A and B are shown apart, each in its own frame.
Chain A
Amino acid sequence: MKFLEDIILKLGAVDRRVIFVLIGLAVLIPLLTPISLPVRETPTTVKFYDGIEDIPKNSKVLVSFDYGPSTRPEIHPMNVGVLRHMLRNGHQIYISCLWPDGIYMALDALEEITDEVNPDNESTFDIKEYEDYILLGYRPGAEAVIKGLASDLRKVYTVDANGNFIDDIEMMDGIKNLNDFAYIYSGSAGYPGTFEWVKYGGDPTGVPMSSGTTSVQVNEVIPYVQTGQLIGLLAGMPGAAEYEKLINVPGIAIQGMAAQSFAHIVIVLFIVFGNLAFFIKQRRDRKY
């Protein structure tokens, strides 16, 4: 018993670089040798999926890219999935960005779903700018931008991301403000994002909305889901993986789940070991 306790104590005092290496390996090995684990949908993800299914077919929807490269692994697969899901249902997509990097995320996502179009496969699409989607682009100003969009979109955006006049674009006919969209979705990594869309977009206009958020943000946003201010929620990379499963296009999030799982196991083991070492040390200190 004492021998075991000594080993645990020794492990408890291990150099932190050893921990770094272990966590690095726990993530790297499953990525190099893919292992498939069963993904199980959680109710908030299912609600999110159903919410998008419930939008009347061929509607106009606003998709906001409110994230950058720092949180791309979490949000990007969600947004790619949402674009696929919406295009399958024939919606026209209007893309806005509250983050400066959002525009590049949007360009990447569009490239991903238009690359090598295969008509039998509902993961890529033959879509045209100004017919199926429009890139409104980025505007700085966070909640003030949303407030402006809720009032008059054409004051915030007079030109789209390509520099073309909004008034000359046929796809923009009949769109004055947020009320003219059937649905709002924000792929959000923090401020500005989900919170601001709920407060200044969804709540004041009553347009149904939902969001995909980083794991870090999930816990702050979850009360909005229970109240119905958000119709479901995609929570971090695991949420994205669940959504990929629901829309039946396995992607980078599902591939990442093995690495995610192993890293979590390793961290839980760290916590358990750390606590065992703590208790043993505490008991020995008390004895002497």
Chain B
Amino acid sequence: MSFSAILGAWIAAFLTLGIFSYLYKDNPFYKIAEHVFVGVSAAYVAAISFWTQIYPNLFGRLFPKDGPLAFTGLEFDFNHEFNILYLFPLILGLMMLISVFQQFSWMARWGIAYTVAIAAGLKAFGYLNSNVLNQVKASSVDLFSGSLPFFSLGGDSVFNNIVLVVGTLSALMYFYFSKEQTGNFGRFTRLGIYFLMVSFGASFGFAVMGRISLLVGRFNDLIDYSSADYNYATLGVLLFIIVTLGIWSFQNPEQKEN
């Protein structure tokens, strides 16, 4: 194992256990890990965004090899042709950066407006097509052809199709607030709530499942780092954190009571 990998494992083990130490109580180890996370992730995402987008796709288009702006000494060869239109996102982008100063805070609005515009134009169609039309189409299911069994737990059946249609309609009706939900309409939307509740229950089950999977992943890494290859990084760091936290709570008993 190389020195950089062993050092990395010790750092990773410290940061991982530092965050887990929050389960005992809020403490400096957790705070350190949390703030390292904030700082590193901001710079990390900035670096990736710059090198994968601004550098090739903006600079590459404004300052291509042998382009009209080559006299500036800036040349970035990404096989792009010079495109003057790309001054527009550059200006909007720079305005965004300037907006960090309080008196120019309005400058970010142009860039935000542009992203809102594109998102709205894309989403209006995307959601209509994929979430509404396709889903409505799929809700018109086979009930009467006679080719399906009446009930089947694991596959298509008339009963399942009825439940699907009634469930979708009643749950959708529950979101319809222009009419008071009383009488027969109220009973129908009540049925809709039951379907939504089953759906939320399933979501809860899946959420638990997901979180546990992530914990499995973390523990797997910690187990890896506790091997001799990494000089027992996990165990060393664990011992250090436990002893330090123990000493701290021994020295500040009043905090323990809190």
Contact = CB atoms under 8 A, between A and B. Distances in A.
Touching chains A and B, CB distance < 8 Å: yes
A89 interface: no
Interface of B: 23-24, 44-45, 48-49, 52-53, 56-57, 60, 78-80, 118-119, 122-123, 126-127, 129-131, 134-135, 137-138, 154, 199, 202-203, 206-210, 212-220, 223
A199 B138 CA distance: 16
Contacts of A267: 208, 212
A70 B44 CA distance: 15
Contacts, number: 134
A17 B245 CA distance: 15
Contacts of A219: 199, 202-203, 206
A122 B130 CA distance: 37
A166 to B, nearest CB: 7
A140 B52 contact: yes
Given A31-B219, A216-B206, 18 more contacts: A17-B24, A28-B219, A72-B217, A73-B218, A139-B52, A139-B57, A140-B49, A143-B119, A143-B126, A165-B78, A199-B131, A215-B209, A226-B138, A252-B220, A256-B216, A259-B219, A260-B209, A267-B208
* Interface-centre pick from A215, A238, A252, A263 (highest chain B CB count, 10 A): A215
Contacts of B56: 158-159
Contacts of A20: 23
B23 A17 contact: yes
B52 A138 contact: yes
A198 B56 CA distance: 27
A236 B202 CA distance: 13
Interface in A132-190: 137-141, 143-144, 147, 156, 158-159, 165-167
Contacts of B217: 72-74, 256
Given A159-B56, A215-B206, A236-B206, A260 B138 contact: no
Given A144-B118, A199-B127, A203-B129, A31 B223 contact: yes
Given A138-B48, A140-B49, A167-B79, A256 B199 contact: no
Contact of B126 (A31, A199, A264): A199
Contacts of B220: 31, 73, 252, 256
